[in-house]
Structure 1
Amino acid sequence: MRMMKTLALAGSMLLAPSLMVQTAHADQASADRLTHLLEPLKTYSADFEQQILDASGSSLQDTSGHMWLSRPGHFRWEVNEPYRQLVVSNGDEVSLYDPDLEQVTIQPLDDRVTHTPALLLSGSASELSQNYDVTRQQQGASETFTLVPRANDTLFEQLKLTFYSEQLGMLQMTDSTGQRTAIDFNDAESNVDIDPVKFEFQIPEGADVIREQSPAAP
């Protein structure tokens, strides 16, 4: 019996490197497939519905609006209901405007900011395999990619991107508290002309401005 246990243990040790190699190959294949879907996405425009749930599954907030992106680094996110909000990236800075508070927060478009889920879409698809562990599940024409950040300073612990017939249709995020954000995209258009003015933010007269520095800034 002891000899059988020893042989079984030795066999599992021999299998372990093979399984690790297979997993690594599968993860790389998933990252390559996601890159293949995102790389041709130069511009994207869609209506969205966003739902935020707490760890128990209770709804915390429902919002809707429209988003535009133009890669690399240009992004506009307009929340219309129930509370207006605007996020604009011009490739160098990200501006967050809250009309109710009449307040604008501006920060550099550094690595920390681009790890937020929405801005992640406007970045380089080829960097996904460097910064995230990627796995893939397919059901018919639906493909879901799960991204787990390798760094510890991101705003989410898991991100899921779902494509329907190779068209981005859903984004889901889970943070360290278990809070979940689900965003459904509707009436999406890919690689259409978007007016560059969409990605320029003009500070409203009378608004309070808060400028945040990059962590690397002096």
Structure 2
Amino acid sequence: MADAPAPEQTATPDQPANRSAPALRDIKQVSDGWIKKYELTYTMPDGSPYTYEAVSRKGLDAYRKELERAGTGTQQADAICIVPRTADDELVLIREFRYPLNSWCIAFPAGLIEEGEDLRECLERELYEETGYGFHLIDGKPKFHPLPQSGYSSTGLSEESVQVVFAFVKKEREPKPEPSEFIEVFTLPIADVPSFLEHNTTPIGTRCQLILESFARDARNELQRCR
């Protein structure tokens, strides 16, 4: 009698169907600088070697630790992206000159989390530096909501992870960006987000684009209910 076929594995929201995966064997740093390039050597499920090129801001030891803990639930964000909203239902965005693009780019305020900073400290610092906005206190307390986990910026290139935080804000001062940062701050009424996405021609970050699209869908639904 023939053996019964093995039951087919199915994926679940938190687990892949196929548990076989390449195994990391070695990490070699091949260039230094603010951005570092690495060669990652893997053993494929069939036993063959495979080399992949990646980049990181981390040094070799920190990068190795990050890759070893990836997917273990101990992820730590490298940066934050702030989605600021005013009491007048406007979103605070920036146009920033991005050197890798050689162009202005539409984005939400964002920045690296400095060593020793907690999420609130980084949030407050980046808001002030890039926009001049601070927390809008509700019942005497700042109101902000981080997403449950940070997300990776470019999984085909780097391990950098970004924590998205929604915050209620108000204008308090003039922004103070770094000398190398060229940033223009503007506000966008949430009701105008669909039109903005339809007509904008300035390059836009994917994260910003998707968050704006979520607001646009809410605005479209609200208009539909009013008809």
Q: What's the TM-score bracket when you normalise by the shorter of the two chains?
A: under 0.3
Larger % of strand: which? 1
Which structure is higher in RCO with an 8 Å CA cutoff and minimum separation 6? 1
Q: Which has the greater radius of gyration? A: 2
